[in-house]
Amino acid sequence: MTLVEITPPRFDTDTDITYATANNFTGAPVYGRPACFLHTQAADKLETAIALAAELDLRFLIFDAFRPSEAQWVLWNHTPDPEFLADPRRGSPHSRGVAVDLTLIDTDGNPLEMGTQFDDFTPLSHHGNTEISAHEQRNRHLLMGIMITAGWDFYRNEWWHYQLFDSRQYDLLGDDALPEPMMPR
């Protein structure tokens, strides 16, 4: 299998898999269960990012990682906005297992202020937006610096989204790529 489950102790991260709850932009759970998987190459780069963040007494909170192709259709059918969602006909880096949505948290588990919440589909979410405070801009730059240093690429419209370079070289995967389905049955 090309997917690795992102769990402790190998991966010292917290998770809040948002699409497994109703607390997402669709207003309903998309996943039947919370799970966090990445392609083996992405998992290796996440390990590097975790080590870099730890040097600064920071950790990651992951909102989403591998997203079955079936889930990408659910999101797209709800909000077909190509500025913030990949058209499932082309495929999302998430559905290839090579993208992760995350933020930084401090030693007490509190997320650093980033100017918007995860999945805020407005220009305030764009990297380099100067309408947020200088403190929030610094936190976004810190997150970006860690992730880029670890070998990730960023998506300009979403401060939380990072993916492997040349993500289209990886195969699109569905729910059947997992040992236990994520999608509701």
Identify whether 158 is a catalytic site residue.
yes
Q: Which of 113, 131, 158, 180 is catalytic?
A: 158
CA-closest candidate to residue 1, choices 33, 42, 31, 39: 39
Q: Which two tokens stand for residue 119?
A: 């999945």
Residue with tokens 């797209």: 76
Helix (H) or strand (E) holding 103: strand 99-105
**Calpha distance 78→126 (Å, rounded):** 21
**Calpha distance 14→105 (Å, rounded):** 9
The bridge status of strand 153-155 relative to strand 99-105 is unpaired
**Calpha distance 70→182 (Å, rounded):** 10
φ, ψ for residue 54, nearest 5 deg:
-60, -35
Q: Which residues contact 50 (CB under 8 A, 6 or more apart)?
A: 11, 12, 13, 59, 60
Residues labelled catalytic: 158
